[in-house]
Structures are given as C-alpha cells and as structure tokens.
Amino acid sequence: MSYSRADNSLERLVALRARLAGSADVYVDDLDWAASGFDREDAVHRELVRASIFVAVVSVTYRKTPWTAWEFDVALKRGIPKLAYLPDGRLVDERSDEWPFASADLTGSVPSVPPRVLRGSTRGRHRISGSS
C-alpha cells in the first residue's frame, strides 16, 4: 500500500489495511518496516518486488512526495497491477475510466529515484539483498 504520511494517520493506516487485507498480506511501511530488519527504503523495495498488487491511497499530497513517486514508478516498471483507493473508499482498477492518475502525473513532476539518493545519505541499518 502506497500512501502519503501527511494525509494518513497510523489509525487510518490500520483501518485501511484491515479493509484491504481479506486473504492477502498487506504491507504498510509505517506499521511493518521496523520488524523487517532492513533499512526503510530496502524494506519498501523488497515488498514492491514481492507485490502482486499495488494500491495507491489517493490523497491531497500523494502525487507530491518523492517516496510515492518512486514507489509508483517501481510498480509501473515491474508491471504490477495497480488499484487506487479513492477518498470516498472505493477501489478502482488502473484500466477504469475513474483511474485518478494521468500517465505522467507521478513520474513527470518528481524525480523517480530511490529516496536515499534524494536524501543524500543512508540512515539506519542497510542490508544488501540479492536483487534490487
């Protein structure tokens, strides 16, 4: 699940995960990354590699952050099927007429590079994985 922290409290993230989970394993960065043993960026990338569906939680600032632009770009490049969780609580498929993103909405305005590159440093633990 890809989301902007500025628009989503931890309580809302817990509720969204419960709604989306069903029989699926839903990775929520702010709830799961510390237990992963990986640097935050590595944990997110690892989950994107494992993902069978990418869910973008649409909000005011979603398209404005380097993290969400990077996550969305990785999903595009990997061909992960995408859903958008709309503010009214509906899920729409990327092939829907209601898909909220234009083709260049995310990757055109924010550099789509790993957030670590944008930060200019690594913080926390970093574990090298076999693929990236």
**For residues 98 and 92, is the Cβ–Cβ distance under 8 A?**
yes
More confident: 37 or 39: 39
For residues 5-11, give the mean pLDDT.
91
pLDDT digits 0-9 by tens, 47-104: 888 899 999 999 999 988 888 988 898 898 889 999 999 999 999 999 999 999 876 5
In the prediction, which pLDDT does 24 show? Answer: 77
pTM, two decimals, is 0.75
For residues 36-53, give the mean pLDDT.
82
Half-sphere exposure of 98 (CA within 13 A, CB side): 11
Weakest mean pLDDT among 38-42, 88-92, 106-110: 106-110
User: What is the CA 27 to chain-centroid distance, rounded?
Assistant: 9
Residues β-bridged to residue 2: 56
